[in-house]
Amino acid sequence: MDPHPDLTSSVLTGLGWYYLIMCVMNVLWTVRSYRVDGQVPKSVPWIGGIPVAAFWASFSALLMMVSVAYFTGTRSPETFPLRLPDSFKDSFDAVTANPVVFFALSVVGFVAMILLRRIWIKDTVAWLLLNGALLFMGLSMTDWDFRQIVGKPDNVPIVGMLFILGFLTWIYFRRAVDNDDRIAAGQPLYEQEDNEKVLVWPDLVYTELICMVLLTALLIFWGIALKAPLEEPASSVKTPNPSKAPWYFLGLQEMLVYFDPWLAGVVMPMIILGGLMAIPYIDFNRAGNGYYCFRDRAFAVSTFLFGFLPLWVAMIVLGTFLRGPNWNFFGIYELWDVHKVESANNVNLSEYFWEWPLFRSIYGGIPRGGDVGTILIRESPGIVAMIAYFALLPPILGLTILRRFMARMGVIRFMVFSNLILWMAILPIKMLLRWTVSLKYIVGIPEWFFNI
């Protein structure tokens, strides 16, 4: 008997319900499509003239059949055919079980989200995306390892968060593109034309009351259905493997992989908080007050979303689903093997610099010694690099590509702004350096607990 069965009877039953719910959702969508979507244009060969709703109806029927198949296959889960093929899992893991690929994909997705916003805000496209995500989830649930990670009570809110986040982002872009079009056409804004102002009492209070009741019911149900994952008593000499922060801090924990504790755990969170608070004082763009828009605030929105989606949410996903024992990187269908070997040998910038053949032949290797002068000379490449990064780069940027910003903001405001941007950029930069050249620290002075 396989200790890690991909399919069990209870999993099959659960997936039967899962596809049944998807079927109901798509039946409702079919009704909506029949009323709204109309027919495929006559010019299209073969299928011209057929109502679009027909495709959704057949998709719903397919889901219904899948659901019935799962319900009826519970007697022999070992031989049940509807499962994710191993070849797909292996190839998927081979490509994605790599922080570089994951981060690159998240950035590509982020750029695509902004560039293709006119496409994916459409109702049908968004519904297709939702169906795709749900199908991916449902099929992946037939894998034991995936189920262990996603089904863990700790991680359920993260799965929910991903869907909620996608929905809210979709709403934003939908409203923003709508208003962009209105501005371009000289029409009144959506917020002005479709004024949804209602009375606090009863409209708002009633809504809040209903939300309160529903959320309380949901939380009670959740608290009963999913047990809190308690572990053994804490011990100062035994750390769970892997040891994960609360899910909302997993982005922070991922930052700690690349930085010194005081930097990633103290300085950078404070810069994040201070920077968020500073946004209203830095922002000089008067457009976009009180209405959704993208084109009026393209820079602000893109910067914020980059910091939020790839640098925070994607890090949470990475830390939750893709980090396993010994904080190694695992694919989503990969067994969490404690003995998985990931060879890494991280090197400080100073070692790279002084051991470079040219400098080695001149200076004879890295300076050794514990006195202040030697340490500073040893770490001078990193110190110079950091000074250049934080002190020279802002004025250079302000005089070249960000000249317009500097003119609008004034020098001091621009310096604050550019330093915040540079702090935000240092995380992906350090990640890339770690992945590409195994760089441990740019400035590494363990003698003084000062490492960047």
Partner 1 sequence: MPPFLSEARLPHDAIPAPVIAFRTAHAAVLPIPFSRASAAFSCLFRIDTSGDRNQMGDKLSTEEILAAIRGGSSPAPDSAASETENQDTAPAEDENPAADEKADASASESSADDQADAPKPAAKPAPTGTAGILDAIRSGGAGSGASAAGGAKQDKPSSAPASGSASAAPKSTADILAAVRGGAGGAKSAASKPAKKKSAETPAVDSEAVRGLSAAEIIRAARQGQPPEVAEKKPVPLPSRPLKPKLVVRSADEMDLPTSRRGFVSRFFAWITTPVVLAWTAFTATATIASLATARFMMPNVLVEPPTKFKIGPPSDYPPGTVSTKWKAQFGVWIVNNEIDGQQIIYALSTVCTHLGCTPNWLEGEQKFKCPCHGSGFYKSGINFEGPAPRPLERMGIRLAPDGMLEVDKSVKFQQELGQWENPASYVPVV
Interface positions with partner 1 (CB under 8 A): 235-243, 253, 256-261, 265, 325-328, 339, 341, 344-346, 370, 440-441, 444, 446-447, 449, 451
Q: What's at 176, amino acid-wise?
A: A
Q: Which of 259, 312 has the CB closer to partner 1?
A: 259
Strand, coil or helix: 445: strand
**CB 374 to partner 1: min, Å:** 12
Tokens for 163? 């869907």
Place of tokens 């960000």: 402
**CB 153 to partner 1: min, Å:** 20
Q: Which of 307, 444 has the CB closer to partner 1?
A: 444
Question: Exposed/middle/buried for 228, CB within 10 Å: 0-12, 13-18, 19+?
Answer: exposed
Say which residues have a Cβ less than 8 Å from residue 426's Cβ, sequence separation at least 6.
Answer: 389
Q: Which of 143, 260 has the CB closer to partner 1?
A: 260
Q: Which of 52, 385 has the CB closer to partner 1?
A: 385
**CB 297 to partner 1: min, Å:** 35
Q: Which of 345, 340, 310, 315 is nearest to 325 (CA)?
A: 340
**CB 387 to partner 1: min, Å:** 20
Give the span between the Cα atoms of 345 and 366, in whole angstroms. 18
Q: Which of 155, 162, 161, 160 is nearest to 229 (CA)?
A: 155
**CB 246 to partner 1: min, Å:** 14
How far, in Å, are 256, 262, 268 from residue 265 at the CA level?
Answer: 7, 5, 7
Q: Which of 406, 439 has the CB closer to partner 1?
A: 439
Q: Which of 355, 447 has the CB closer to partner 1?
A: 447
**CB 92 to partner 1: min, Å:** 23
**CB 28 to partner 1: min, Å:** 45
Is residue 269 within 8 A of residue 252, CB to CB? The reply is: yes
Give the span between the Cα atoms of 434 and 445, in whole angstroms. 18
Q: Please give the DSSP secondary-structure letter assigned to residue 153.
A: G
**CB 159 to partner 1: min, Å:** 23
Q: Which of 186, 370 has the CB closer to partner 1?
A: 370
Q: Which of 89, 434 has the CB closer to partner 1?
A: 434
| Helix (H) or strand (E) segment spanning residue 120 | helix 117-120
**CB 226 to partner 1: min, Å:** 24
Give the span between the Cα atoms of 125 and 315, in whole angstroms. 26
Is residue 11 within 8 A of residue 77, CB to CB? The reply is: yes
Q: Which of 354, 411, 310, 349 is nearest to 99 (CA)?
A: 310
Q: Which of 184, 237 has the CB closer to partner 1?
A: 237
